[in-house]
Structure 1
């Protein structure tokens, strides 16, 4: 029992509030039975007093604002004790509808967790004939265990074959895990400058563009807004400018996520820019056929570049399998004797 759990058990409301102000992360604490503060509050013999404590705890959880606040909320609200019961399971056993309503305010709560007996919250409410709890939980997506789709456990995932996508993602995370925050920021600045420079080339191409008042526009069949340069020069310019623009955009997306977050959330920031770039290229191109040739050429270069990168990764992978290090330390992943002894290099911070 930690001091916070003792305060919850003894219903010391003011002391619980002090814990929130001094160390808000202590809400994740649990005793040897796996019970956290929510379990203890729900199990209180006096439901009225336990409900008062639970209101304070839920107010604590819902007001967390630190970097990992969502993770903490998920861990606390879905914590299971030694019997596999969450605090919501206990509320269903005791027909505590008020406690159920309080915990269902959390958007991170999983109402379909099964305990060690294979029972969900709805199962418990049905067996105990607690209709109010059953209806409330069902409105939040609660289901009977028999109707749940079988999910993969951690052991199932670890024992399954490593897919190509998982392998690529793992290698990407490993390759970028050593990048410090300073280097990451510097690469983001460089990528941003490349995106800006290549996009500016589309807005102001070398030699300028024809306007509607120039003699070239219309008399020679040249459309207004197209580039003055020749078609061959335009194809070369658009091809390599597009390669630089797309590669810099891809690098920016990778650096923003670093394999830890889904890049899906960053797509809305770049998709409009990519469409605008493509449309601008069609506008300034001398004609549609030239634009198509330049776009196809850029696509071919990008595909070839991707194949070269894949081939290089394959070569490095084959080299890594060949045992030929100069010492046993290298075999074990160490490069110095200090690392083998567990001594951190000078200036290196162990996280």
Structure 2
């Protein structure tokens, strides 16, 4: 082979080696494209060599041409392989990290606002000698209705309002059945508060939930009267809502209390002036209550001529809504962290 042909072959060898090194060192698509243009572009180093093939003697042209095509094939293969490697790297875990984004804050656990209300209510009544007790959520119709002076043909026992698991078994519709269970087990004096879940066939809307917390209270002893009852409720209202909060008792009806009353407190949002939260009345109802009906005492074996007592029931979720100005009960149950974090 003539010196001219040998010189071209040497140049091709150098182009192959240097081109492979440049392609392998390309850190991104821009660097890879730069290497392609330098070695395989229209005016690149390989094109320069191929333009000189015609200047060598005929017998050396074939060897130089074959070698040039071989170098082109090798460099193209290296380009494709490096391009795939770079693409794969951009799809990896490190590629999804955007260092310009602010750091993600860690969630901090806290007590749910309804749980906090339950704990506070129980603590306030503990100051008056009340003990917290629990009871089953699956109840017989006897404890859920009959023992509480609610006949099974009463609207409250209707299947449209109650979750029946069997003919005589229900998901309790209130925590009041624990009243009967406690009185069957213990003799007076009795002072208990009963926190727990209750279930009703209510729609899930801004003011109702099919499963909700309730707190029942019961006090039974000799000589318990309405004056003591009112004093206990006012003690709770002042300690929970503040000394400036007013309360009132409105006549009502419940099968297991007589007389019965609904307890209202002055609206904390408008200070009693009237707003959408209190429906322009200046008052918000927080519980149903009353003196225990003698029929309930008879059902559990207490002497209604000897013992008297009072009972009350309240919804901690509604009270949490009043305290924090929450407009929709569903916010308390949907587990939305952006909402719940404000209470941590």
- Normalising by structure 1, we get a TM-score of 0.19
Higher helix share: 1
